[in-house]
Structures are given as C-alpha cells and as structure tokens.
Amino acid sequence: MAAVHKFMRKCMSTTRLSLTVCVVAGLCALAAGPAVADLYSINSIKVDETADNAVEAKKKAISEGQTRAFGTLLHRLTRATDRVRLPELTASQISRLMDGMSVENESTSGTRYVAELSIRFRPSNLRDFLLQYKVPYADEQAPGVLLVTVWKENGKNILWDNPNPWRDAWASLNVENSITPLFLPLGDLTDIGALSANDVLSGKEDKIQKMKDRYAVENVLVAIAESAGGNNVRAVLRGEVESGPIEFDETFSDETGEGIPGATAAAARNYLSRIEDGWKETHLNLGRPAGNSMQVAVPFGSLGEWNTIRQRINTTAGVESVQVKRLSAKGAIVDIIFAGDLGILSGELERSGFELSDIGDTWVLQVR
C-alpha cells in the first residue's frame, strides 16, 4: 500500500496527460489489492485442541477458530451497542457465512490438533446477516495512519530497541487490517537514522514529516507508555486520524496475570477500539442501496479535497450513494450507485464539474 501511495504522489507533480496515465496505473494497483476483502478476512488464528482422537480434536479446533474469527469480524465492523441484537451462531451457521479457509503450521498427534487458520467471510452473506437483524455496519476502511511507539523504562526511552512491550502490544492486534489501519514502522536502518525516541518525545515536526513522507501517510499517532507501579501502565496516545484529533492519557492494569505485557495489551485494545468507534460513527451502512453501479477511480491531492469531491458526487443528480472500496492518501476506488443509464450519469457529473473518462478498462473521474 505504501508503494502505491508513493507512486500516486510522484504522479501528482506531472502534466495533466501524464497524470491521467499515472492515475489509471496507480489506482488500478489500488483496486487490484484486497480492498474491502481485507476487512472480511481474519488471519493468524492459532488453535490448539485435544480430544479422544485426532479427528475430533481437529473438528473441535476448526469450530473454535471459526467462532473466534466471526467474533473478531463483528467487533471490527459493528458497534458494541448494536451487536447485542445479534443471535449467537453455531460453528455450522458461521461456516455458511464464510468464503473460504486456509490452514498453516498444522500438526497432529493421537489426541491433539494444532494449526494456524486464516478465514475469509463472504461480504454479501455477512451484510445480509447483519441487515436481517437491523445491525448497521461499517466496511469502508479509513486512510492508514503511522503509529510510533515509545516505551519508557529505567530512565531509557525505547523506540527501536527491544524489549518494547508497548510496540509488541500493538503489533499483536493485527492493526494493519483494522477498519482504522495503523502501520508500525519497519524499524530498519533508514527509520533509525530518521527518528529517535527523543525526537518523538520533543515533538520534532521535521523528523515526523520524514516518517510521513517515507510511509506515504498524512497522519501519525504517537504512543508513549511507561510502568505506573506494580502491573500498571500509563499510556498516552496523541495525534490526528481521519475522524479527528486523538488525545488519550490513562492508566491500565493487568487482569490476565501476565504483568506489564497484560497491561500494555489492555491499553492498546482500549485505544484501538475507541479509534475504530470514532470512525464507525460516521461511516455506518444502514442498508443496501438500489440502482445501477459502476466502479470509478478518483484521484485527489489531499483528504480534504477528497471530502469535497465526495460531497459533490453525492449531491449530483441521479447519484444515490457512493461506496468507498479503497482509500489512500492520493486516490480512491469507489462504487457509484445511480439511477438511470450511464449516459445520463455522465452528463450530470459533467454539470457537477467532473470529467468521466474510460481509460483502458478503468473509469476515471477527475475534477475539470
């Protein structure tokens, strides 16, 4: 994804003709990615079950993995206040909502089964299930945000070195596939040379900007944590995400018996959930729109410009809704749901100040 962002930014400095070619190439690369399917995939589900025999142990493990994956997906797409209306499904019922499953690192013994599962859910089936119980969902992914973590211990400020239980806590949450994706830096020699823990703590904007440029993001969250005595951790999270500014500063306790790692995990889960809820509040789908649909690539220079473009598309005559399938810092892939035929839509978009072009196999919508 970062490579696509960089490619799009380079394109923005070219001529209009070259830009059009870049838009198609860059946004097609964006569309070719997993897009919304990422949100409907739950990966790295570790299962370990025993039973009277290996066959029963495997059956038990697969059922457990499906149930956990389904719970993770519901948490990702819906609000806790809405999920209470959903019935508890059996593993068999959950399997009918699935699109497929892959198994890795599988091992068996006479009575034990161990594996790592990746489960994909079919978006249409899941949406129908949620709408049946009038549960709104959000499956539009927010723009990615870079997450920089500093752990303070014994007078040291740890950014790139190990151990860093604060970074580990975020990494364990698979935050890149969240509905509000967070990207942890690679921590390679380039990162180490560009940013230090003291740079982060002193808020050096020029250093932070270098990280934004490298990872092709518009926003960075700074996460700072330290022991607060015993098995307690004080965790601070500040910065900006698409839904607004973030400023958290709270103390968390371990309730798992794991000590400091348990407390940092609780803090990371809590903060991620709050970021996700903030996004969901303004991006909930209440039903399936009717009408015709076409997929369009839309380039833009900033997320502020994108918000203006999206509003203009939505207010164009004949347009019923705009469903964002993939969003980056410089472009989007959207489904436009509209009434009437394509010729009428094209004319209405032109009157709204857009140019709709068929370039190769891709429709591109640009501001005139």
Tell whether 198 and 236 lie within a shared domain.
yes
> Is residue 29, in this structure, part of any structural domain at all?
yes
- Choose among 341, 300, 307: nearest CA to 9: 300
CATH number of the domain to which 315 belongs: 3.30.70.60
Helix ranges (H only) for 84-176 are 91-95, 123-132, 165-171
Amino acid at 133: Y
> Is residue 137, in this structure, part of any structural domain at all?
no
Of 5-19, 64-78, 327-341, 353-367, the range with the highest mean pLDDT is 64-78
CATH number of the domain to which 260 belongs: 3.40.50
Tell whether 113 and 45 lie within a shared domain.
yes
Tell whether 28 and 73 lie within a shared domain.
no
Rounded to the nearest 10 degrees, the angle between the axes of helix 54-77 and helix 123-132 is: 70
Indicate the residue among 254, 281, 308 that finishes a domain: 281
Residue 293 has pLDDT above 70, yes or no: yes
* Amino acid 262: pLDDT: 96
pLDDT digits (tens, 9 = 90+) for 180-213: 999 999 999 999 999 999 999 999 999 999 999 9
> Is residue 138, in this structure, part of any structural domain at all?
no
> Is residue 139, in this structure, part of any structural domain at all?
no
> Is residue 317, in this structure, part of any structural domain at all?
yes
Question: How far is residue 100's CA from residue 94's CA, in Å, rounded to a whole number?
Answer: 12
Residue 362 has pLDDT above 50, yes or no: yes
Residue 66 has pLDDT above 90, yes or no: yes
Tell whether 176 and 276 lie within a shared domain.
yes
Residue 355 has pLDDT above 70, yes or no: yes
Taking residues 1-8, what's their average pLDDT? 39
- Residue 288's pLDDT band (boundaries 50, 70, 90)? low
Question: Rounded mean pLDDT of the chain?
Answer: 86
* Amino acid 316: pLDDT: 87
- Choose among 229, 221, 304: nearest CA to 259: 229
Tell whether 240 and 197 lie within a shared domain.
yes
Indicate the residue among 132, 156, 177 that finishes a domain: 132
Tell whether 162 and 262 lie within a shared domain.
yes
Tell whether 115 and 47 lie within a shared domain.
yes
Share of the chain above pLDDT 70, in %: 88
C-alpha atoms less than 13 angstroms from C-alpha of 294 in its C-beta half-sphere: 20
Q: Which letter, b or e, does each residue of 52-77 get, where b requires 16 or more Cβ atoms within 10 Å of its Cβ?
A: eeeeebbebbbbbbbbbbbebbbebb
Range with the poorest average pLDDT among 29-43, 118-132, 259-273: 29-43
Taking residues 322-338, what's their average pLDDT? 84
- Tokens in use for 65? 């993995």
Residue 13 has pLDDT above 50, yes or no: no
At residue 277, the 3 state secondary structure works out as helix
More confident residue, 232 or 35: 232
pLDDT digits (tens, 9 = 90+) for 215-239: 988 999 999 999 999 999 999 999 9
* Amino acid 9: pLDDT: 37
Taking residues 292-317, what's their average pLDDT? 87
Tell whether 159 and 207 lie within a shared domain.
yes
Helix ranges (H only) for 12-138 are 16-32, 36-39, 54-77, 80-83, 91-95, 123-132
Residue 259 has pLDDT above 90, yes or no: yes
CATH number of the domain to which 64 belongs: 3.10.28
Range of the structural domain that residue 194 is part of: 145-281
Tell whether 224 and 292 lie within a shared domain.
no
- Residue 242's pLDDT band (boundaries 50, 70, 90)? confident
Taking residues 300-321, what's their average pLDDT? 85
Q: Which letter, b or e, does each residue of 97-107 get, where b requires 16 or more Cβ atoms within 10 Å of its Cβ?
A: bbeebeeeeee
> Is residue 250, in this structure, part of any structural domain at all?
yes
Tell whether 125 and 59 lie within a shared domain.
yes
Neighbour count for residue 302 (Cβ, 10 Å): 12
Taking residues 307-326, what's their average pLDDT? 84
Domain count, the chain: 3
Of 127-136, 172-181, 190-199, 308-317, the range with the highest mean pLDDT is 190-199
Taking residues 252-264, what's their average pLDDT? 95
Token pair 């025993």 is at which residue? 50
Taking residues 25-33, what's their average pLDDT? 48
Tell whether 314 and 266 lie within a shared domain.
no
- Tokens in use for 236? 């601070």
Taking residues 48-67, what's their average pLDDT? 96
Element of type H or E holding 152 = strand 145-153
Residue 299 has pLDDT above 90, yes or no: yes
> Is residue 342, in this structure, part of any structural domain at all?
yes
- Residue 14's pLDDT band (boundaries 50, 70, 90)? very low
Tell whether 162 and 255 lie within a shared domain.
yes
DSSP count for the chain of H helices, then E strands: 14, 14
Indicate the residue among 256, 281, 306 that finishes a domain: 281
